[in-house]
Amino acid sequence: MKIVIINYGAGNIQSIMFAIERLGYKAVLSNDPDEIKAADKVIFPGVGEASYAMKMLKESGLDTLIPTLKQPVFGICLGMQLMCNHSEEGDTKGLGIFDVNVVKFSKKVKVPQMGWNVIYNLKSDLFKGIAEKEYMYLVHSFYAPICAETIATTDYELEYSSALENDNFYGTQFHPEKSGDVGEKILDNFLKL
Amino acid sequence: MLTKRIIPCLDIKNGRTVKGVNFVDLRDAGDPVELAKIYSDEGADELVFLDISATEERRRTLVDLVRKVAATINIPFTVGGGISAVEDVEVLLQNGADKVSINSSAVKNPQLINDLAQKFGSQCVVVAIDAKQIDGEWMVHLVGGKVPTEIKLFDWAQEVEQRGAGEILFTSMNHDGTKNGFANEALAKLSELVNIPIIASGGAGNIQHFVDTFVEGKSDAALAASVFHFKEIEIKTLKKELKKNNIEVRI
């Protein structure tokens, strides 16, 4: 199986590489459109600021490629947010894969949300064998509201989408590669889709 | 609900753990990777590695360590000590660190906080603040609390938040090493002043101290070293007790 992690200069890529290795697979880093198109599974990571990450994505021409991919694609954290229609962070137009707009938490809570919180209302093969209310590691200031594509919910200030799915596209706000054994199981589920 | 976090801190010198550790099941008590794995399995929510070595070899051994830790554990970890430039941070993050902690270098060059937040995002910038209460006023100290400054803790905390810090790790020099509990009054004030998470450090001696810092000190996370290293408190037991006190933790 060929696993490609999209390398566009934004994201803690090494942690995802290691997590995939712990699961017994190998992944390659690439920003080459042909290599990404030929992969069995594509992982789209991201940390940092949305408009900067989108700029990097555009520079490598991947903003037009990603929405056309047919194999399972997994956006993580900022990766998931960039797959939405729009992000309030830096007023950034997204890839439009998930039909929802990303907005900021209010000042009623500490921002960023940083740490472990539970995911529930799980509705996807991504969560096969995963119990409701398992703890996942999250670090984010912006969130995707609940929508038709929500497959996991988390509560911080309000209920929001901690995972999204649309056809072959999946996204999690949490970091499966940093969420202990349960997080690794979710990553494994994706690789087995 | 977002949980409170328990964070063991490992002091590292030339790639090895310093301060005696008291784990009978450890093959090599000085191996930070093995210790990290044990803490991760016991339910630590994050780990902090503080590099206290001073040699030129430091960066290479530290980067090597970061890679090994990232390859082994599946929880987040922070690396601090001797970080003074954007390039230092770049190499640590590229090798699998999730966050970096800066202390004296941020005081000497506050712009570093802005630069790091802009380049890597606030989520990976922890600003560590050591402070001592002198005549009722909390003053920032440098070099592990040895060198006093004219900077007031609460002013500095607000400044680092404005400059883009994602988290503050506050160590009270009055409490550090005493095992008499955390500086909860100052911690609670910090939590009200700034809107980023606060990690309490310095003073952990028993389980009640953790309860107190989460309730009275309004801390988001608590960091400790020796009580964990010497198994005076086991993380599993600690978390069960916190839960009994209606404090949300990951078990």
Domains of chain B, by residue range, sit at: 5-245
Q: Does A135 touch chain B (CB under 8 A)?
A: yes
List of residues 6+ apart from B17 with CB closer than 8 A: B10, B11, B29, B30, B31, B32, B35
Nearest CA in chain A to B93: A12
Cβ–Cβ of B197/A114 closer than 8 Å?
A: yes
| Residue A11 reports pLDDT greater than 70 | no
| Residue A52 reports pLDDT greater than 90 | no
Cα–Cα distance for residue pair A163/B230, rounded to 1 Å: 40
CATH architecture of B5-245: Alpha-Beta Barrel (3.20)
User: How many CB pairs below 8 Å do chains A and B form together?
Assistant: 89
pLDDT at residue B57, as a whole number:
62
User: Which A-chain residues 57-76 have CB contacts (< 8 A) with chain B?
Assistant: none
The H or E element spanning position A36 is helix A33-38
Q: Indicate the residue of B2, B220, B221 with minimum beta-carbon distance to A156.
A: B2
| Residue A40 reports pLDDT greater than 80 | yes
pLDDT at residue B226, as a whole number:
86
Q: Residue B65: its chain A contacts at CB < 8 A?
A: none
Q: Indicate the residue of A14, A140, A180 with minimum beta-carbon distance to B74.
A: A180
Terminal alpha carbon distance of chain B: 13
Q: Indicate the residue of B3, B122, B166 with minimum beta-carbon distance to A116.
A: B3
3-state secondary structure chain B: CCCCEEEEEEEEECCEECCCCCCCCCCCCCCHHHHHHHHHHHCCCCEEEEECCCCCCHHHHHHHHHHHHHHHCCCCEEEECCCCCHHHHHHHHHCCCCEEEECHHHHHCCHHHHHHHHHHCHHHEEEEEEEEEECCEEEEEECCCCEEEEEEHHHHHHHHHHHCCCEEEEEECCCCCCCCCCCHHHHHHHHHHCCCCEEEECCCCCHHHHHHHHHCCCCCEEEECHHHHCCCCCHHHHHHHHHHCCCCCCC
Low-confidence ranges of chain B (pLDDT < 70): 19-29, 54-59
User: Which A-chain residues 138-167 have CB contacts (< 8 A) with chain B?
Assistant: 139-141, 155-156
pLDDT at residue B54, as a whole number:
60
Q: Does A168 touch chain B (CB under 8 A)?
A: no
Task: List, for residues A127-179, the tens digit of each pLDDT value.
Answer: 999 999 999 999 999 999 999 999 999 999 999 999 999 999 999 999 999 99
Cβ–Cβ of B5/A116 closer than 8 Å?
A: yes
Q: How many domains does chain A have?
A: 1
Task: List, for residues B194-241, the tens digit of each pLDDT value.
Answer: 999 999 999 999 999 999 999 999 999 999 988 998 889 999 999 999
Q: Which domain holds residue A187?
A: 3-192
pLDDT at residue B13, as a whole number:
82
Mean pLDDT of chain A: 95
Task: List, for residues A62-93, the tens digit of each pLDDT value.
Answer: 999 999 999 999 999 999 999 999 999 999 99
